[in-house]
Amino acid sequence: MPTDPALADELVGAVRAFVRKEVLPVASDLEHADAYPAELVAAMADMGLFGSTIPVEYGGLGLDIATYARIVEELAAGWMSLTGVLNTHMIAATLLRLHGTDEQRARLLPDMATGARRGALSLSEPDAGSDTQALRCKAVPDGDEYVLDGTKMWVTNGQRSSIVALAARTPEGITCFMVEKEPGPSFGGIAVSKQIGKLGYKGVETVEMTYSGHRVPASSVLGGAGGLGRGLPFMLGALELGRVNIAARACGVARAAFEASIAYAQQRETFGVPIAKHQAIQFKLADMATKLEAARLLTQSAAAKLDAGERADVEAGMAKLFASETAFEVATEAMRIHGGYGYTTEFPIERYYRDAPLMIIGEGTNEIQRLVIARGLLRRYAVT
């Protein structure tokens, strides 16, 4: 059901105020220190954001995805890393909502809605990123348990999560397990084997995780016995929400870069006039704003498709592709407009410039998005 427009506007306004009051004053310092924003994450939990799309019956806000995308844009306009804290959590919650058993939903979703338990997604491996068929992580059945062995890569929230949606091979094929653990560097046979340093996207952990003989009950198979061998389509479907998140956060970064640029262009003077008076700068601002608006419309279109319960692989792929490329282009143009100041850490432009490439790679590279889009279009327009 669509979120009431007045309620949606109120929530988005509250997030915008939170960003302005709490996030912007500390974002640069936390980002440069690569420090986890514990207080900001706690405030996000208090606002109910970890339950954004979780149904009200499980304690969530029950928002439609269009409103969630607006919230993500607001957060990313302040500091993009905050949206990463939400993204894999909401993907894990969506997997449970769409494919979990009644028992799994009743047991896990209420704590996820409050943020008491955080979710992570564990699909990629050191030698299996876009090529999901190359997954090697195994789950061997042993009585009423499974034994997990393998290494997972690029796990956002991996260390601080307590519920990990894990893709592993079983005799039936790739299966999704909802692995429960305690937050920390190790738990049972699970270890955070590497903290991965990054160009941008600071403050939120991205880790390598190793599973060595870790035992989970058979009840942790997403969807129960009916979910065996169906993990890949479950996860790829849920990634459509992740791609809307990436598109929305790209809009947020692009918006922040554009707003900083149009303000700076009216204050900075060269040759006796503000640089906003120069046609070269005006053309840049016009292109930045136009591409940002187009990216936002594509994002909302993909969100609307998901809200209607329809497959949105093409729309989510288009939104993610265009918005992420736009964020990188706008961040680059923002640095050009700011000149030498944009290259310094005194302005946030260099942060936008470092954060933007993540969206080109995250939730499937843009090369993969083009394949997804093309294949989807060929299905829709098949000549018979």
For position 230, what pLDDT does the model report?
Answer: 97
Residue 376 CB neighbours (<10 A): 18
For position 168, what pLDDT does the model report?
Answer: 97
User: pTM of the prediction?
Assistant: 0.96
108 and 22 co-located in one domain: yes
147 and 238 co-located in one domain: no
127 and 109 co-located in one domain: no
* Residue 94 belongs to domain with CATH number: 1.10.540.10
280 and 337 co-located in one domain: yes
155 and 205 co-located in one domain: yes
From the candidates 240, 259, 363, 367, which is the catalytic residue?
A: 363
| Residue 45 near residue 112 (C-beta atoms within 8 A) | no
139 and 59 co-located in one domain: no
Which of 84, 99, 114 is the last residue before a domain boundary? Answer: 114
Which of 176, 193, 226 is the last residue before a domain boundary? Answer: 226
Q: Verify whether residue 363 is a known catalytic residue.
A: yes
11 and 33 co-located in one domain: yes
For position 172, what pLDDT does the model report?
Answer: 97
Q: What is the mean pLDDT of each run of 10 residues along the chain (384 residues)?
A: 92 98 97 97 98 97 97 98 96 97 98 97 87 88 97 95 97 97 96 96 96 98 97 94 97 98 97 96 98 98 96 96 98 97 96 98 94 95 90
83 and 191 co-located in one domain: no
| Residue 90 near residue 241 (C-beta atoms within 8 A) | yes
329 and 242 co-located in one domain: yes
Which of 114, 129, 147 is the last residue before a domain boundary? Answer: 114
* Residue 150 belongs to domain with CATH number: 2.40.110.10
Residue 79 sits in which domain range?
5-114
240 and 272 co-located in one domain: yes
137 and 179 co-located in one domain: yes
Domain count of the fold of the chain: 3
215 and 317 co-located in one domain: no
